[in-house]
Amino acid sequence: MSIYIFIFVAKIIEISMMTVRTVMMTKGEKLYAGIIGMFEVSIWLYLMSTILSNVQSDPLRVVAYAMGFGCGIYLGSMLEEKIGVGLVTIHVIAGVQEGMRIASILRANNIAVTNLKGEGRDAGKSVLMVHIKRRRKKEAISRIKESSQDAFITVYDVKSIAGGYGLKK
């Protein structure tokens, strides 16, 4: 029984690491991705040698491996979301007065905002552009929603930004 638990837990750890490493690479964090990759492949090699020995006579090893794989993807996704590596751009479209209020609240919370004038179908609009570290995304969106129920919010992942306020590494 302990071999199945070992395979299951090791696969969860390995796949979680793979998920985080993949996101690190896409966000430009090559050094961290490389370090995680070394540990990930070490676990994988050891795990494969454990599974492949006697796999014909003990097919439950494959089941433990597959279950660990699925759970690892789920856990890795949750872990990566908590780590919050990278940057996002948040666009907010709101009425002119609402936009000014939202920008003021965000700036009071040390979040840089650019307020542009826009035109909606029936009235002028504020188009707010916010570039922020991903780990602060929920906070920023929460502040926007508290300020305006009618604001239109879009969020984009950003690979890199040059210059600006508050985003230097």
**CB neighbour class for 3 (10 Å; exposed up to 12, middle 13-18, buried from 19):** middle
Give the three-class secondary structure for 132.
strand
Please determine, for residue 159, whether its predicted confidence score (pLDDT) is greater than 80: no
From the list 134, 136, 153, 141, the residue with the least C-alpha distance to 28 is: 134
Higher pLDDT, 18 or 50: 18
Please determine, for residue 99, whether its predicted confidence score (pLDDT) is greater than 60: yes
In the chain, the percentage of residues whose pLDDT exceeds 90 is 60
Please determine, for residue 168, whether its predicted confidence score (pLDDT) is greater than 60: no
Token pair, residue 113, equals: 């905002």
User: What is the pTM (predicted TM-score) of this model?
Assistant: 0.68
* pLDDT tens-digit map of 131-158: 998 889 999 999 999 988 889 999 998 8
**CB neighbour class for 133 (10 Å; exposed up to 12, middle 13-18, buried from 19):** middle
pLDDT band at 165 (very low <50, low <70, confident <90, very high): low
Please determine, for residue 166, whether its predicted confidence score (pLDDT) is greater than 70: no
Question: In whole angstroms, what is the distance from residue 120 CA to residue 139 CA?
Answer: 27
Token pair, residue 1, equals: 């029984």
Give the three-class secondary structure for 40.
helix
Give the residue-averaged pLDDT of 64-72: 95
Give the three-class secondary structure for 94.
strand
How much is the mean pLDDT over the chain?
90
* pLDDT tens-digit map of 101-118: 999 999 999 999 999 999
